[in-house]
Structure 1
Amino acid sequence: MVMDEKPLVSIVIPCYNQGHYLRETLESIEQSTYPYLEIVVVDDGSTDSVSQQCIFDLKGYLVKQLEVKFITQVNQGPAAARNNGVRLTTGEFILFLDADDKIDPTYIEKCLWILMKYPNIGFVYPSVQHFGARDDVYHAKPYSFEDLLLDNFIVVSSMIRRRVWEEVKGFDVALSGYEDWDFWIRVGAAGYIGYWLREPLFFYRRNDISRLVVDNNRRKILLKEIQKKNKQIFDKYFGSEKNNKKKLKYKLKQKLSYYKWKIFVLYVRLASKMPSTYKEKLKRFIKPIIKKIFKYEETGYTELVQDQVLEKNEIDQSIETDYSYKRNSRYIQVMSTNLPLNKKNSILFIVPWLVVGGADKVNLDLIQKFIEKGHDVHLFTTLNHEHPWHYRFKEKIVNITHLGNNFISLNELLDYVNDYIQAKKIEIVQMSNSQLGYQIAEIIKTSNANTKIVDLNHMEEPYAPFDYFRYSVRYKNWFDHRVVITPYLKEAMIRKYGETAERVTVIPNGIEVPTSYDSTSYLLKNENEIIEIGFVGRMEEQKQPIDFVKTANIILSRCKNVHFTMVGDGSLLKAAQLLARSLSIDSYIDFLGSSNNAPQIMKEKMHVFFAPSLREGLPIVGLEALSLGIPIVATDVPGWSDLIDNGKTGFLSPVNDCVRMADYCIELINNKVLRESMSRKGYEFVEDKFSLNKTSQVYLDIYENLLNS
C-alpha cells in the first residue's frame, strides 16, 4: 500500500441494542486530535425500539466534517459486524470500537506515533479505564505471544494495520465467544507483534450484564473451543499430546493463569463496592501482595527509574552516552499539517505529576488563562503516578501525555518528546519542578533550536536532601529564562546559585479573585457564634499538622466557642487524628481528608485560616484564603511573610511556637471587628497584587520577548 501523506484511520463500530450510547461514542471520536478518520456503524439487527430510534436520529451525523456511514444487517454477532464494516472502509489503519465505549482524544494519535515509528509493529493495544458499573484501570502487560495463549490481555479496541486484518481474514464468525482472543492469537501466529500503550486511553463501559460478562462465565468452554480451533498453534508452543511433559507444564500454567485472573477479578469487585477511602487503603495493602506472590501484571509494571538525588544519575549518563534522536518523520509531517488555526503561541508545560497541591493549582490556573487568551497549550507529566488531578486538567486541556506512565525506554521517551515538539511546533516549554524535565532540557534545546525553555521555581529548601534550586544549577544554561514567585527567591537565585538579574523574573502566584468583597460572604459568616479555624494542605512535616492539633488543644483550654477543620491527606494524617483523640479534642476537629473542593469548604466554613508551616514558596492556599476574606495566622517564614501584612491581614508567629499561635487565634476568636477589618484588607491586597489575569500576562510577555529576541 502506498503511504498516504494523510493516512486514513477507519473506525468500525458494531451496534446491537446500544444505540442510546452511540452519540457519546461519536462525540468522543470528534474530540480526537487526529483528523483523518472515516467511521462505519454496523447496526447488527437491533431489536430494541429505543436503540433503533437513536440510530435513526444519528443518520447524517458528521465527525471531522465527514458523514458517518450507517449500515444495517440481520443479526450475525459482533465478529461479522466488524468484518462487514471493515469491507466498507479504505483506511491504512483500523480501530474497532463498541457502540457504548469511548476514547481519549489523544488515543488515535498516540497509536499512530507508534505504528509510524515501528514498521514491525502490527497493532497497538492500550490500558483500559473502566467506567459505569466500575471505576478502575486495567493495565495489560508487555506483548508476549506465549502469554497471549494463556490469557487475553489485548482489548478488541486496539489499532491495527489493515494488512494485518486482511492477512488473517478478519474475525472468525463461527466462534460462540472470545472471537477477539482468537483473532489476536491468529495475528500473533502470523508473525505480527503488538505494542502496549500503557496509558488508559480507551474507556470501556462496564455493565452488570454484558457480552464480556457472559463470555467470562463460559471461560473454560470458550478456551477449549479456541484451543481446538488453533490446535497447531498451541501444539507448536506447548507441545502435542505426545510431548506429555511440555503439555503438562502448559496446563499447569493455564490453570495458574485462570486462578490468578479469578482472584484479581474478586479483588476488583470487592474494591469497587467500597467507599473511596477504604478502596485506596485496600489497594495499598493488597496490590504489592498480588504483584509479588502472583506476579499478575494488571497490578503494576516496570517503570523508568527516576532517582531523586542532587548528583547525576543513570538518566543523565544515558542521555550523555547513549541517546541519538531517531526522528519519526511521517508522524511529524502528518501532524504538523493539522495545527489549530488562529492560535497564538504553542506552549508545552512539563510538570512531575497532577496532584492536589499548590504548585499544580498554579499550573492549572495558568493553563486555563493561556487557553482563554487564545494560546495552544499542551502538557507532559514525567513521573509514573496515578495523577489524581488528571481529570481536572483534562477539563481544560486535551493534549496530555503522562511520559512516566507510558515509557520504560528513555530513548523512546526522548524521541517522543522531540517528535511531539516538532509536530506541534511548540514554541515555549514551561517547566515546573520536574527533575526529568531538567535532565532532558539539553536534548530539547539541541534538537529544537527555536524552542524557548522557561523554568519556574516555587520554593528553596536548602536543608532538605533534594530541592530544585540546587538541582537546577547543573541545567541552568539550557533555560532561556527563570521565574520565581517572591523577591526573596530571586535574591537567593542570584546570590547563591549564580544567576543574573536580567534572567530572573518575579511573578507571584495568581488566583481568580471574587468579583467583589461582598461576594466572599465573609460578613454573613462572621455573625456565627462558633468560630471555625481551618487547615488546608498536605499532612506532611513541612505543613506541621501536628502543631495545628497542639495549638487547637491550647485554644480549647481557653475558648469553647471554636471548632476546627483539617482538609488534606498524607503520612501524618493518622498521627494527627491519634493525637487529637489522646487529648480528648477529636470531637472538636473535623478531619475531611483530601478534597478537590477545598476553596468552597474555606468559603462556607472558615473564619480563620491557620498554617503552622516549616517553610513555603508562595502558598496558593493562602492567596485563596485572603481572596475569600479569611484572616490568616501563619509562621514567620518566607512565603507566608511575603503574603501576610502582620497585624493587618493576619498574624505571623515563630515556627513551632504553639502558645504564640494560639494567642493570635484567640485574639481573632474574641474580636469580631478585628476579623472583619483583616478580612477586608486581605481581599483588597490579593485583588490588587495577585489577580490571575495580571500574573498570567507577565508570563506571556516573557514568552513574547524571548520569541522576538
Structure 2
Amino acid sequence: MNFLGKISVIIACFNYGRFIEEAIESVLESTFQDFEIVVVDDGSTDPETIRVLDALDHPRIRLVRQKNQGLAMARNNGIEASFGEYFLPLDADDKIAPTMLEKFVAVLETRPDVGFVYSWIQFFGDENRVFKTQDADLSILREENICCGCSLVRKEAWREVGGYVPGLYGYEDWNLWITLVENGWLGVSIPEILFYYRRHGKTMLADGQSRHWYLMGEMGKLHAPMISEGAHIGAPLREGVALVKKFQNKLTSEDLLNWRLWKQSPWYMAKRTIPNGIKWKVKVVYWKIKSLFLRGKKEAARREILAGVARRGTARLSAVALAKEGCAPTRGEGVTKKSILYILPTVSVGGVEKTALDTIQALRGEFDFTIIVSQKGEHAWAEAFRSAGAQLFFLEDIRDPSLWVELLRGVIALRRIEVIHIANSIWGYSQTAWIKEKFPHIRIIDIFQGGEVEGGVIGWNRQFEGNIDQTIVVNSGLFEKLIHKGSPREKFICIPNGVSLLKFSRDKVVVSGEEIRWKWGLPLDRPIISFVSRLSSEKNPLFFLEVAKAIHAARTGAFFVVAGSGYLQDLFLNKRAELKLEHSLRYFPHLQNIPELLSVSSVLVNTSLTEGWSVAILEAMAMEVPVVASRIWQNAALVEEGKTGLLADLGNVNAYRDSILQVLDDPYLSGALALNARKKVVEEYGIAKMASRYRDLYFSY
C-alpha cells in the first residue's frame, strides 16, 4: 500500500538513472516523515535509467510513466497524481538536507500568506559555491531569479496560477515564482543551506541560460497585461510612472519592440543603478509598454483593468497613462492615506533618526512613509525602518549624482507625496527651491534638533527659509530662543521627542541581567556605565573616554559600554587603546537592543557639548537608569539636578567622575533618581503624545 503524505516530493527523471537513487535517499532520510515520493519517468530511453526506475520498491514511492513532454509537463502531471497538500519539485540529480522538509512545512503551516518557501543553495560536483537566495521580490524577480527551484509549494497556489508553463527550458521555476507573486503569494527564503544542486556537464539550466534573451522575451509576453493603447490612456490607477524627461525623446516604438536595444539605451543603464523601490516602478514602464506593442490583442475596458489589479491585490501590475511626451503619473481612485517623504542623512543610531523611526512606527497604517537617505553610511537602522513600513531609497546607490534629482522627482510623482519632512539633510535643503516651483502643493517642513540658534541646521533653515513652510523644534527653551531672535512665531512648532513607554520599561525586558551580560560578554559582577550616542564631535565621545579612565583609576571594578557609530569611530578606538581601556570598555557600533543594555546599566552618561532633546537620556529615564549629563541649558529641562539626574560641568573630568561615583555609592540616591525619572517621562514624554502631535501636523496640511 502506498503512503499518502502531507508533502508530495515530485522527481521528474529523463535518463538520470545514475543519480536518482541519491536524490531519493536524501528524501527518505528526512526528519519530517509525512511525505510521499512521486517519480515521473519522462520517456527515458537510457536502459540503465529504465532498469533503476523499474526496481523502485518502497511504500512511499509511486512511479508515473509518460511519453517525453519536458520538465514542466512532467512536474504538472506528477503533481496532479500526488496526494499532498504541498509539493516539492526535486530534480533527479539533486539532493536535500535531512531537515529541509521539517523547516519548510513549519513556514507554510504557520504563514497562510506564503505560497512557497525555499533555502540557500549549495552547488556541488563541477562547481562549489553557495547561492544565497532572497525573499521573493517582484521588482528583482522580473530581472533575475533570486529563488530556488526546489521549493515547497502550496498545491492550491499552483492550481490557482495554472501550474508550470511548458517551453521555457530551464526557466520553468522562475516563471512560476513570478506568477505566484503577481497573484499575491509570498515567497520566503530560509537563510540556511538545505538544498544541494549538482553541476555536471551541460544541464537544462545551462541550456536555458544560453537562450536567456529569448526566454526573457517569452516570459515578458506571459506577464504583460493584455491591454491595448486605447485601454491604456488615462486609466485612473493607484500608481503611475514618469520617464525621465531627458531620455523621453530617445525612445521610439521600434526601440520598445527590441529588448536588446532597450537594455543598451542610456535610460535603462541609468535605472539599473536605482534602488529596488524605484526599479520595480521603472520596470512597469518596460513591461507595460511591451504589452502595449506586443500583446494588444484586444481592448479591455478600464473597469476590467482595475478589477484585474484589485484581484491581484497589488498596484505593481497597474497600467500607466500614456502621453505624447512619455509615461506620466496618474492620481489614484480611493486613495486616502497621505504620503510623507522624509529626507534623512543616514538611517543609523542618532537622535533625529530615532525620532523619525519612532514617529513612523507609531503612525504606521495612517500614512504612507518614504525615506530618501542622502549620505553614505552603514545605515544600521535600515531594516527597522523597513519593518515599520517605510520605503527606503539610498542616493549612494546611484553612481551619477546628476540622477539624484531625477530620483527625487520620480519618488514625488510616483508616490503622490504631499508633505516633505527634511531632517538634518543638507542635500534635502538644497532641493527645496525647485520642489516648490514644480510641486507648489507640497508642504515642506524641517526639524531642528540641535541645541544652538546659530549655524548648523538652523543655518540651513535660514538659508532656505523661503521654501520651508514650518520648522519643528524639540524643546520649549529652543523655541523661545528662536522667537527672541526675531523668527516669526507661526513658522515654528514645538514637538518634544518622546519615548516608547512599553518598549523602554524594565517590566518588558524578559531576559535576566545575567543572561544579557553573558550574551554580550560583559562581566557578571561589575557596575555598567553606559554611553549611548552617535560618535560625532558635538556628542564629545573622546571626553567620555577621559571620564572612563578617571573612574577606572578610582574604581577598578567599573565597566563601560559605548553603543553608537559615527565619523569619530576610528579616533575613538585609537584613544581607547591609548588609554588602555580595551579590557574595561566594550564598544558596540550597531547595538539593536538598547532596552537590554539599559536594564543592566547602573548609570547613563551624557557628555554632549550641545543637545536638542536627547533621546538617549529619555530612554534611560524611562528605563529607571540614573543619568549624569552635561550642564547645558538643553539638558536642564529633562535632567532636574538631584531629582531626575545629576549634571556635571562641561570639560570637567573630576566633576563627572564624582557625580558618577556618587550614584554608584549611594543606593538611596540612585533609587530616587530612577523612580523620579520614570515618573517624569510617563507624565510628559510618552511616544504616543509625540506621535499624536505629528499626526495633527501632517493632517493640518
Instruction: Output the CA distance in 1 between the equivalents of 2:511 and 2:615.
Output: 23
Which residue matches 1:563?
Answer: 559
Instruction: Output the CA distance in 2 between the equivalents of 1:676 and 1:189.
Output: 68
Percent identity, aligned pairs only, is 19
Determine which of 457, 464, 474 is the counterpart of 1:475.
464
Tell me the SS of whatever aligns to 2:680: helix
Q: Does the 8 Å CA contact 2:648/2:656 hold for their aligned counterparts? A: yes
Which residue matches 2:381?
Answer: 389
Instruction: Output the CA distance in 2 between the equivalents of 1:495 and 1:438.
Output: 24
Instruction: Output the CA distance in 2 between the equivalents of 1:480 and 1:634.
Output: 34
Which residue matches 2:694?
Answer: 699
> Is 1:71 aligned to residue 71 of structure 2?
no
Tell me the SS of whatever aligns to 2:618: helix
Determine which of 574, 596, 601 is the counterpart of 2:592.
596
- Which residue identity does 2:607 align to in structure 1? P
Q: Does the 8 Å CA contact 1:617/1:638 hold for their aligned counterparts? A: no
Give TM-score, length-normalised by structure 1. 0.58
> Is 1:337 aligned to residue 332 of structure 2?
yes
Which residue matches 2:247?
Answer: 118
**Cα gap change, 1:561 to 1:333, in 2 (>3 Å):** closer
Which residue matches 2:36?
Answer: none
- Which residue identity does 1:453 align to in structure 2? I
Q: Does the 8 Å CA contact 1:535/1:610 hold for their aligned counterparts? A: yes
Which residue matches 2:46?
Answer: none
Which residue matches 1:427?
Answer: 418
Q: How does 1:147-296 map to 2 (within 5 A)?
A: 167=258, 184=260, 194-201=269-276
- Which residue identity does 2:649 align to in structure 1? P
> Is 1:363 aligned to residue 356 of structure 2?
yes
**Cα gap change, 1:69 to 1:353, in 2 (>3 Å):** farther
Q: Does the 8 Å CA contact 1:40/1:70 hold for their aligned counterparts? A: no
**Cα gap change, 1:188 to 1:405, in 2 (>3 Å):** closer
Which residue matches 2:530?
Answer: 534
Q: Does the 8 Å CA contact 1:382/1:402 hold for their aligned counterparts? A: yes
Shift of 1:459: 0.5
Unaligned runs of 5+ in 1: 1-12, 62-66, 94-107, 123-160, 169-183, 205-326
Q: Does the 8 Å CA contact 1:116/1:328 hold for their aligned counterparts? A: no
**What whole-Å deviation, never above 9, does each CA across 1:429-487 have from its counterpart, x for those lacking one?**
22211222222223222322322222211114568xx5111221122122222110112
Instruction: Output the CA distance in 2 between the equivalents of 1:191 and 1:704.
Output: 40
Q: Does the 8 Å CA contact 1:522/1:630 hold for their aligned counterparts? A: no
- Which residue identity does 2:650 align to in structure 1? V
Q: Does the 8 Å CA contact 1:332/1:423 hold for their aligned counterparts? A: no
**Cα gap change, 1:583 to 1:442, in 2 (>3 Å):** closer
Q: How does 1:8-157 map to 2 (within 5 A)?
A: 23=116, 51=151, 54=153, 58-61=157-160, 67=161, 70-73=164-167, 77-78=207-208, 79=211, 81-88=215-222, 90-91=224-225, 113-114=242-243, 118-119=247-248
**Cα gap change, 1:121 to 1:608, in 2 (>3 Å):** farther
Which residue matches 1:349?
Answer: 342
Tell me the SS of whatever aligns to 1:70: coil
Q: Does the 8 Å CA contact 2:345/2:424 hold for their aligned counterparts? A: yes
Shift of 1:378: 2.0
**What whole-Å deviation, never above 9, does each CA across 1:319-367 have from its counterpart, x for those lacking one?**
xxxxxxxx99764434x2377x453x32222222222212111111111
> Is 1:453 aligned to residue 587 of structure 2?
no
- Which residue identity does 1:54 align to in structure 2? V
- Which residue identity does 1:655 align to in structure 2? L
Instruction: Output the CA distance in 2 between the equivalents of 1:523 and 1:681.
Output: 25
Tell me the SS of whatever aligns to 2:641: coil
Instruction: Output the CA distance in 1 between the equivalents of 2:361 and 2:507.
Output: 22
> Is 1:652 aligned to residue 640 of structure 2?
no
Shift of 1:542: 2.1
Instruction: Output the CA distance in 1 between the equivalents of 2:444 and 2:436.
Output: 8
**Cα gap change, 1:167 to 1:704, in 2 (>3 Å):** closer
- Which residue identity does 1:23 align to in structure 2? F
Tell me the SS of whatever aligns to 2:428: helix
**Cα gap change, 1:593 to 1:629, in 2 (>3 Å):** same
Instruction: Output the CA distance in 2 between the equivalents of 1:523 and 1:114.
Output: 52
- Which residue identity does 2:276 align to in structure 1? L
**Cα gap change, 1:580 to 1:488, in 2 (>3 Å):** same
Instruction: Output the CA distance in 2 between the equivalents of 1:469 and 1:430.
Output: 15
Instruction: Output the CA distance in 2 between the equivalents of 1:522 and 1:675.
Output: 23
Determine which of 600, 604, 610 is the counterpart of 2:605.
610
Shift of 1:704: 3.1
Determine which of 661, 665, 681 is the counterpart of 2:660.
665
**Cα gap change, 1:163 to 1:685, in 2 (>3 Å):** farther
Shift of 1:660: 0.8
Instruction: Output the CA distance in 2 between the equivalents of 1:532 and 1:346.
Output: 43
**What whole-Å deviation, never above 9, does each CA across 1:391-444 have from its counterpart, x for those lacking one?**
22122234333346437355x544554454344332222221122222222322
Shift of 1:40: 13
**Cα gap change, 1:472 to 1:652, in 2 (>3 Å):** same
- Which residue identity does 1:444 align to in structure 2? I
Query: Mean alpha-carbon deviation: is it higher for 616-625 or for 380-389?
Result: 380-389
**Cα gap change, 1:337 to 1:702, in 2 (>3 Å):** closer
> Is 1:639 aligned to residue 616 of structure 2?
no
Shift of 1:381: 2.5
Instruction: Output the CA distance in 1 between the equivalents of 2:428 and 2:498.
Output: 23
Query: Mean alpha-carbon deviation: is it higher for 393-402 or for 481-490?
Result: 393-402
Which residue matches 1:100?
Answer: none
Query: Mean alpha-carbon deviation: is it higher for 638-647 or for 652-661?
Result: 638-647
Shift of 1:698: 1.1
Determine which of 481, 495, 511 is the counterpart of 2:484.
495
**Cα gap change, 1:114 to 1:550, in 2 (>3 Å):** same
**What whole-Å deviation, never above 9, does each CA across 1:228-284 have from its counterpart, x for those lacking one?**
xxxxxxxxxxxxxxxxxxxxxxxxxxxxxxxxxxxxxxxxxxxxxxxxxxxxxxxxx
Instruction: Output the CA distance in 2 between the equivalents of 1:668 and 1:86.
Output: 68
**What whole-Å deviation, never above 9, does each CA across 1:109-145 have from its counterpart, x for those lacking one?**
89x54479734567xxxxxxxxxxxxxxxxxxxxxxx
Shift of 1:600: 2.6
- Which residue identity does 1:394 align to in structure 2? R
Instruction: Output the CA distance in 2 between the equivalents of 1:328 and 1:434.
Output: 36
Tell me how many residue pairs correspond in the alignment: 479
Which residue matches 2:495?
Answer: 507
Shift of 1:628: 0.9
- Who wins on radius of gyration, i.e. which is larger? 2
- Which residue identity does 2:493 align to in structure 1? T
**Cα gap change, 1:659 to 1:524, in 2 (>3 Å):** farther
Shift of 1:626: 0.9
Unaligned runs of 5+ in 2: 1-71, 76-88, 95-103, 105-113, 119-132, 171-203, 228-237, 280-322, 515-523
RMSD: 4.5
Give TM-score, length-normalised by structure 2. 0.59
- Which residue identity does 1:450 align to in structure 2? H
Instruction: Output the CA distance in 2 between the equivalents of 1:610 and 1:27.
Output: 41
